[in-house]
Amino acid sequence: MSRDHDMMQRALDLARLAAEAGEVPVGAVVCDSETGTVLGEGRNQPIATHDPTAHAEIAAIRAACEAAGNYRLTGATLYVTLEPCAMCAGAISFARIGRLVFAAADEKGGAVLNGPRFFEQPTCHWRPEIVQDETSAPEAATLLREFFRARRLT
């Protein structure tokens, strides 16, 4: 699907901006699943904002909810460059996002395919359709590896 490719490229561009700002390179875009209209986007900014919840997904969801005038985004797709953590998975569920597309898996901090597998828990009341974009996963993983490699060298 070319929309998936285009939106993930946009999320990767946001991840690069995060890296340039010294933040972990993760980017996210929320769009209307029918029209492709971008409702919100975000990049990791916990350092700049002094906010541990300032993950890319949270920023994108907040902006999308504001644009939609609703805290529910059932007709939306969230594109993110890294498998969401438990906090972000919870926000995805609470926002009722219809579809989640992520690139790189996160064995240490992920909560979708890894860790607690948030959406498989009986206490989870909303489960999006989940797609791992394996085409974009290598690029997203490389951004993260290079970012952390540079941090270890300084």
Residue type at position 151: R
Spot the catalytic one: 23, 34, 41, 57: 57
SS3 state of residue 32 = strand
124 is in an annotated binding site: no
Give the contacts of 55 (CB within 8 A, at least 6 positions apart): 26, 42, 44, 46, 85, 87, 88
Q: Which residues on adjacent β-strands are paired with residue 65?
A: none
For residues 11 and 55, give the distance between their C-alpha atoms in angstroms, rounded to a whole number.
13
DSSP symbols for 101-152: EEEE--TTT-SSSSTT-GGGSTT-----EEEE-TTTHHHHHHHHHHHHHHHH
88 is in an annotated binding site: yes
Lookup: tokens for 10: 């946009």
Whether residue 57 lies in the annotated active site: yes
Please give the positions annotated as active site: 57
Annotated binding residues for Zn(2+), written as ranges, equal 55, 85, 88
Annotated binding residues, written as ranges, equal 55, 85, 88
